[in-house]
Amino acid sequence: MTLTLFRLYHILVLTLRSVCSVAFSDHDFDTRCALRNHFEPAFKTQGDFVLGGIFPLHYNQEMPDLNSTYQPPPVKCNGFDPRAFRWALTMRLAVEEINRSKELLPNHTLGYKIFDSCDYPLTGQRAVLAVVNGVTEKDHGICRGASPLLAIIGESGSSQSIVVSRILRPFRIPMISYFSSCACFADRRKYPTFFRVIPNDDYQVKAIAQLLVHFNWTWIGLIRGDREYGRFAVQGLLRELQGTSVCVAYTEIIPLIYNQQRALEIIQVALSFTERAFHSRAKVVVVFSAEGEMTPFLKDYMEQNISGIQWIASEAWVTASVFSGSHYYPYLGGTIGFGIRKGYIPGLSDFLQTVTPYIYPSNPLVHELWEALYGCASVPSSVVDLPICSGEETLMAKHAAYMNTSSPRVAYNVYKAVHAVARSLHNLLLCQPGVGPFENRKCIYNILSTGGNIEFVLVGLFDGTKTTGQELDIQEDRIIWAGHQSKVPVSVCSDSCAPGSRKAVRRGEPVCCFDCVPCDSGKISNETDSVDCAECPEDFWSNPDQTACIPKVVEFLAYDTVGIVLTVISAVGACLTIVVLVVIFHHRYTPIVRMNNSELSFFILFALVLCFLCSLVFIGEPTNWSCMLRHTAFSITFSLCISCILGKTLVVLAAFTATRPGNNVMKWLGPNQQRAIIFTSTLVQVVICVAWLIDAPPYPSRNMKYERSKIILECSNGSSLAFWCVLGYIGLQACLCFLLAFLARELPGNFNEAKFITFSMLIFCAVWLAFIPVYISSPGSYADAVESFAILASSFGLLLCLFVPKCYIILLKPEKNTKQHLISRDKK
Ligand code: TRP
């Protein structure tokens, strides 16, 4: 502000100089070129210095006839604006006050010339030419002795101000705008004589961007008027929104010449985004437009009888008179926006009340004011069809558009602008070099929201002088949102992603529109709206919600269902074997036991008990010892068992071949030899196992390959070669045994042991052949269960095939338990 005033001060010096030089040098200013137009000021007064004023006293004007072949008709404007009229009167008031003041410009008087621009750049241009030319267009201005034009207070809309400033630029006449907030004026090279008493829109767009971010409105609509103001403001807002979470769903432009068809289309677009189209809700719509364009637009909006939109109003219409009718409330209540700072002008209310058609009978604008306020004609007129005014009209609350003098905003700007010029002139006339008279003023926006009773409610402040991020101060509890809501409206394209999921941007759509995809297993996100899921550390896995990493489940064949079943089966098997052992031991002198080599039978049964028990080593958490024991114990007991069976087969085979004459095999197969065979063939397995344990013993390991979510505790074989050797050796023994038993199967005798050995080996081989593929393909702890089952199944196979027939005869058919019966062959 100081800088601005300082510049103004300099320019005033220049203006005075140039004006004077023209006044004294150009004596022969002639009437040869005369303006052919007639453009009367709304108000004028003479003074030592003249201030020009340009105000949009009408909302719009009929398109002028630009056919330059005949004298253009006078400007025809429509839609009288009482609010702008009040601004014009405020300028008059300020000038009159200054003229009366003994402190400010005590020895000088100020005059003014106030023109109507009809809110239209071309008319603004005519107005500024009229101002510089003279009191009226007919006068040829300052060089004919008229007072020097000090400055122009104006214009309102930025597009008019641009035109005005371009015309004033060559003459170095300063203009002070009270409402042109366009950021474009910041270019001092283009607009060196432009000053203003309203903050640059750069602050407003910053404030709106912060407001959007504050309420997490990330999916918004933009509507603007088709003028510089809207264009630059939208540009600025888009720039401010870059790098924030806010995306713009659509930008629509209200045409320069209002068009209902187009307005309805825009409303339709806005609505389609309010109603959850494609899951998105752009409920919040930011509008940069002036009151003149917004009034018909909002009327059309309300005629649709909809109220779903949360309007964010720019300073140009947030205090518009549209809000002063109570029927607007259901549709526009809750509108929020940044208003210009207000101030109090003492005496304004009284001054406005002095303006009546009876005091100013020749001023057509005052008549128009009466028409607009009271709907009556103050003089009989053939043009308007209105009742004649009574003369008793009083100003009431409903005339707020004109009479709202308690907290003027733009009018206060006008007042400030006049004072700024007067003060500059005063200081210029009194200034001593080096003593600057300027004070430090702030620019602060007020945030306004229309509350319950169509009142403007102050809900916060935007202070551009504070540090970035701290400028916005909002009291949310004071805001009543659109549609009577006390909750902050939601305006987002996609709902935020809960923890456990991440954002996935949709192709070809703005970043605010995304899908939420759940994190992959093993990955987590623990905050809302995460962009990525984080991988869990090695020993951890995601919980079912994917929101936290929890230690992986450690799995092994425990004493759960499977473990208990296996334990029970192995216990049953071992007990059964012991029962069989007892039975056979008890009947050890009966022929069936004696004939079938009782010592070997006891060995087999003993080995089978061990076999059943060694399946237990597979259950429980693997430790160094249990891992080493598992395969070795199992392979040695099985080797022992099969060695015994092999011995038995050999004996059976030998016994029968020995019956043939000249054969003395039995001599070589006495009990000692048998023991030796069993011992050596078991010893081979023992040697393999010892080598295995010495070289690369099995050890417990944590396997994370089978299932990434679990740690499987298993025994690593150490050496697979050794493992397969051990199994292969058992297989070899079993096959040999099977082959021999198969040869002996046809031997005579009612009780043919060889047949049962064949069966048992068949079952044994079948079980272990089936085991191999299942074992290889079973993950982790299942492999242990499979092996344990295979051990149990093959042990049962052996027990049942070899001993059930014997027990059957011993216990149930004792009459058959004779040597005679066993050797002889029953006739079929
Ligand atoms: N701040 C606006 C501007 O700079 C205010 C305004 C006044 C306006 N009259 C207008 C905006 C007309 C658009 C149209 O222009």
What distance in Å separates the CA atoms of residue 447 and residue 689, rounded to the nearest whole number?
88
Instruction: Measure the CA angle with vertex 782, ends 780 and 783; round to 5°.
Output: 75
Contact 225 CB / ligand 1 (< 6 Å): yes
Q: Kindly give the distance from the C-alpha atom of residue 230 to the centroid of ligand 1, in angstroms, as a whole number.
A: 8
pLDDT (0 to 100) of residue 683: 94
Q: Kindly give the distance from the C-alpha atom of residue 288 to the centroid of ligand 1, in angstroms, as a whole number.
A: 9
pLDDT (0 to 100) of residue 100: 94
pLDDT (0 to 100) of residue 428: 79
pLDDT (0 to 100) of residue 738: 87
pLDDT (0 to 100) of residue 802: 87
**Separate counts of helices (H) and strands (E) for the chain:** 22, 25
Tell me: pLDDT of 9 over 90: no
What distance in Å separates the CA atoms of residue 525 and residue 518, rounded to the nearest whole number?
9
Contact 421 CB / ligand 1 (< 6 Å): no
Contact 319 CB / ligand 1 (< 6 Å): no
Contact 87 CB / ligand 1 (< 6 Å): no
State both tokens at 132: 């510089």
Name the residue among 767, 766, 689 with its Cα closest to residue 723: 689
| 446-495 per-position pLDDT tens digit | 444 443 334 456 777 888 777 887 888 888 877 777 767 778 888 888 88
Domains of the chain: 5-198+404-450 (3.40.50.2300), 201-339+458-464+473-478 (3.40.50.2300), 501-551 (no CATH), 622-823 (no CATH)
Name the residue among 795, 179, 252, 220 with its Cα closest to residue 510: 220
Tell me: pLDDT of 403 over 50: yes
Give the DSSP H/E element, type plus range, for residue 303.
helix 291-303
pLDDT (0 to 100) of residue 14: 36
Atom number of ligand 1 nearest to Cα 181: 4
**pTM of the prediction?**
0.69
pLDDT (0 to 100) of residue 192: 92
Average pLDDT, stretch 331-356?
85
User: Mean pLDDT, the chain, as a whole number?
Assistant: 82
478 Cβ neighbours under 8 A, 6+ residues apart: 449, 451, 457, 458, 459
Atom number of ligand 1 nearest to Cα 182: 4
Q: Kindly give the distance from the C-alpha atom of residue 157 to the centroid of ligand 1, in angstroms, as a whole number.
A: 3
Contact 503 CB / ligand 1 (< 6 Å): no
Contact 410 CB / ligand 1 (< 6 Å): no
Instruction: Measure the CA angle with vertex 729, ends 723 and 731; round to 5°.
Output: 105
Q: Kindly give the distance from the C-alpha atom of residue 316 to the centroid of ligand 1, in angstroms, as a whole number.
A: 6
Between residues 202 and 2, the one the model is more confident about: 202
Name the residue among 207, 127, 133 with its Cα closest to residue 164: 127
Contact 182 CB / ligand 1 (< 6 Å): yes
User: What is the band of 499 on the pLDDT scale with cuts at 50, 70, 90?
Assistant: very high
pLDDT (0 to 100) of residue 152: 94
Contact 368 CB / ligand 1 (< 6 Å): no
Average pLDDT, stretch 75-91?
89
| 142-188 per-position pLDDT tens digit | 455 556 788 999 889 999 999 999 999 998 899 999 999 999 999 99
Average pLDDT, stretch 265-280?
78
Name the residue among 704, 699, 698, 700 with its Cα closest to residue 554: 704
| 536-556 per-position pLDDT tens digit | 998 899 999 999 999 988 888
User: What is the band of 694 on the pLDDT scale with cuts at 50, 70, 90?
Assistant: very high
Q: Identify which of 161, 229, 295 to mutate to test ligand 1's pocket (most ligand atoms within 8 A of the CB).
A: 229
Amino acid identity for residue 13 in this structure: V
Q: Identify which of 61, 179, 182, 224 to mutate to test ligand 1's pocket (most ligand atoms within 8 A of the CB).
A: 179
pLDDT (0 to 100) of residue 357: 86
781 Cβ neighbours under 8 A, 6+ residues apart: 555, 556, 557, 712, 713, 714
pLDDT (0 to 100) of residue 466: 79
User: What is the band of 5 on the pLDDT scale with cuts at 50, 70, 90?
Assistant: very low
State both tokens at 349: 């209310």
Average pLDDT, stretch 277-284?
71
pLDDT (0 to 100) of residue 227: 92
| 634-643 per-position pLDDT tens digit | 899 999 999 9
User: What is the band of 665 on the pLDDT scale with cuts at 50, 70, 90?
Assistant: low
Contact 124 CB / ligand 1 (< 6 Å): no
Contact 160 CB / ligand 1 (< 6 Å): no
**What phi and psi values does residue 712 have, to the nearest 5 degrees?**
-100, 120
Between residues 261 and 404, the one the model is more confident about: 261
Which residue's CA is minimally distant from atom 6 of ligand 1? 157
Instruction: Tell me the CA distances in angstroms from 369 to 373, 401, 518, one per residue in order.
Output: 6, 11, 65
Q: Kindly give the distance from the C-alpha atom of residue 315 to the centroid of ligand 1, in angstroms, as a whole number.
A: 9
Tell me: pLDDT of 384 over 70: no
State what percent of residues in the chain have pLDDT above 90. 30
pLDDT (0 to 100) of residue 274: 80
Which residue's CA is minimally distant from atom 7 of ligand 1? 157
| 621-632 per-position pLDDT tens digit | 888 998 899 889
Atom number of ligand 1 nearest to Cα 229: 15
Between residues 184 and 599, the one the model is more confident about: 184
State what percent of residues in the chain have pLDDT above 70. 84
pLDDT (0 to 100) of residue 208: 92
Q: Kindly give the distance from the C-alpha atom of residue 328 to the centroid of ligand 1, in angstroms, as a whole number.
A: 22
Among 301-310, 331-340, 595-604, 649-658, the minimum mean pLDDT is found in 649-658
Instruction: Tell me the CA distances in angstroms from 114 to 90, 177, 268, one per residue in order.
Output: 11, 14, 41
Amino acid identity for residue 318 in this structure: V
Contact 157 CB / ligand 1 (< 6 Å): yes
Contact 154 CB / ligand 1 (< 6 Å): no
Average pLDDT, stretch 703-711?
81
State both tokens at 801: 């095939």
